[in-house]
Amino acid sequence: MRKVISIIFLILFCSSIKVEAKLTAQNRVVEGGYNYWFYEPNNTDTTTSTSNDSILLVNPTSNIDSLTSEEKIARELMGDFSNVPHFVPSQPNLKPLVIFLHGRSLCGNNLNKLLRYGSIDAIKKGREIDAYVIAPQNPGTFWKPENIMTIVDWVSERYPIDTNRIYVLGMSLGGYGTIDLVATYPNRIAAAMALCGGGSRKDLSGLNEVPLWIIHGTADRAVSVNESRKVKNQMEEAGETPLLRYDEWAGVNHGALARLFYLEDTYKWLFKHTLDNRTVDKTISITQSDTKNAYKGFKHRSSSKNKSKAKKK
């Protein structure tokens, strides 16, 4: 009986182990995909259930006749525990997946470029995002939705991702990628945010099925606001657009919208949506003035002053 108690204690201990957040660079991992950064959030499974659903077993024994009397008692209490030394913590609760698509300036084959701005940089600076995050790197062409979704499928098969809560956001070239991805896979994306971009697909009718927030500055010289207007017009030509939020920010230039990746409300708005609830949230407001404090409380960026100090040293 002492053995049974020890086994029960081991299972309860394993089910409460905390898995720390982790950020890793993935190079040539997914065939047919892009290289990408992958962020794994903190996972704490507080489940104390003793059912098989909360325990992952390795090589479980199906023949009950091979078990000892103590093992049979524990099996009745807790399910099949046949290979006790190989118990691993139970799977944590399913979490959302965020896809961040960068602009042309970060294209290439060096993932460190993606640390200049965006969701991964926001995480490194202290923004808490309770979701898995994929940040692929485009080698230098238009984003290919199929390549992005290949990564999503690969990751979803290996991590506890809630496939009802997959989100995408991007700016500039990444804004185009966001629109194209949503238009291609409207049944896979729960919500999206496209910043200062446009669309390259001929058929954008799928956008009308997804909660989508488009924001573009009227003073954008890199990508004209007309590109977002074209997307809006195509959506309206395809039918009703009750799931669209469309904002033009007067006098705002191209780079200013990068600040939205650092705002808590950006992710709050995305997480308000699921595939099971096809309505758009309009309670969360993000305005131009909100971006002025986007970096408040984060780790300081390296400034020219710091660089000059380093040179003196």
Give the whole-angstrom CA distance, residue 113 versus residue 89.
35
Q: What is the average per-residue pLDDT within 217-221?
A: 97
Rounded to whole angstroms, the Cα distance separating 282 from 191 reads: 13
Rounded Cα gap, residues 255 and 87, in angstroms: 50
Instruction: State the pLDDT at residue 298.
Output: 81
Report strand pairing: 36-40 vs 22-26. antiparallel
Q: What is residue 186's DSSP assignment?
A: T
In this model, does residue 102 exceed pLDDT 80?
A: yes
Residues 54-97: tens digit of each pLDDT: 222 223 333 445 455 554 554 454 444 444 443 344 455 899 99
Q: Is the dihedral of CA 258, 264, 267, 270 positive or negative?
A: negative
Separation of first and last alpha carbons in the chain: 67
How far apart CA 70 and CA 75 sit, in angstroms, is 9
pLDDT in tens, 122-175: 999 999 999 999 999 999 999 999 999 999 999 999 999 999 999 999 999 999
The per-residue pLDDT for 278 is 95
Is the pLDDT score of 34 beyond 90?
Answer: yes
Q: Of all residues in the chain, what percent carry a pLDDT higher than 90? A: 70
The DSSP call for residue 53 is G
Question: What global pTM score does this model have?
Answer: 0.77
Which of 88, 80, 91, 84 has its CA nearest to residue 6?
Answer: 84
d(CA 264, CA 256): 16
**240 within 8 A of 208, measured Cβ to Cβ:** yes
Q: How confident is the model at residue 11 (pLDDT cuts 50, 70, 90)?
A: very low
Q: Say what the pLDDT of residue 191 is.
A: 98
Tokens 């469309």, residue located: 246
